[in-house]
Amino acid sequence: MIELKTPTEIEAMRPAGRLVRDVLAALTEAADVGVNLLELDALAHRMIDAAGGTSCYIDYHPSFGASPFGKVLCTSVNDAVLHGLPHDYRLRDGDLLSVDFAVSVGGWVCDAAKSFVVGTPDPQDLRIIDTTERALAAGIAQARGGNKMGDISAAIAAVARGEGYSINTQFGGHGVGREMHGDPHVSNDGRAGRGIPLRPGLVIAIEPWFMAGTDEILTDPDGWTLRSVDGSRGAHSEHTVAITDGDPLILTA
């Protein structure tokens, strides 16, 4: 069921959005050659505790997960593109790291993700990161009252296809509120002018993610980490956005 938030409830989501923003900034600063993914997860955990927040991930066990996630952060490296389960891995020069983080503060959730290169960047990695960021911006620009969900999806897809990337539609954006994942689904591909109307009070996570050489994924033995089937690298960008009577409100900016 799609739930619309009041202006007061959207304001109450801002602390969660600020914490998500601050954690992603801290992780970007901390991630360096030789840093262990488990150290990044521990840093995020400390910041959650210090802010009085609650992890959305530790006990998360949807139908597609093999078991409760058990960590507070998703860390996807190189050809791992989504839901990367933090494990004993030290970052290497040139790794493409995608970090996805959601947290509840005061009973309200916000969710965001970003990708960046650790150490020496490969131009192709920078290109796909830039594409996800531009696709996210294009999707957010369409997140206005009176538009349709398909306007967001079509804008994202146009950026991806303009750079020659194909699009996986198994996973995409989603409603956000008291829970991390809710209705409606926000596909990264669609037709403009189609889908549900965007009404003020709707809060959604918009999250384009693309892979360099394929649109097909496989699941690691850990039951969570999703990888490209051809070993090509991927990137992921996400913000939590509220539809208002005016401009989109990016709660995790």
CA dist., res. 3 & res. 85, Å (int)? 30
45 is in an annotated binding site: no
Q: How far is CA 245 from the centre of its chain?
A: 25
61 is in an annotated binding site: no
Please check whether residue 128 is in contact with residue 212, taking contact to mean a CB–CB distance below 8 angstroms: yes
Q: How far is CA 49 from the centre of its chain?
A: 21
Please check whether residue 30 is in contact with residue 40, taking contact to mean a CB–CB distance below 8 angstroms: yes
Give me the half-sphere count of Cα atoms (radius 13 Å) on the Cβ side of residue 120.
2
100 is in an annotated binding site: yes
CA dist., res. 71 & res. 86, Å (int)? 7
79 is in an annotated binding site: no
Residue 10, CA distances (Å) to 98, 103, 222, 249 in order? 27, 15, 36, 9
CA dist., res. 14 & res. 216, Å (int)? 35
185 is in an annotated binding site: no
Beta-ladder partners of 203: 242
Q: Which residues are annotated as a binding site for a divalent metal cation?
A: 100, 111, 174, 207, 238
Q: Which residues are annotated as a binding site for substrate?
A: 83, 181
Q: Which residues are annotated as a binding site?
A: 83, 100, 111, 174, 181, 207, 238
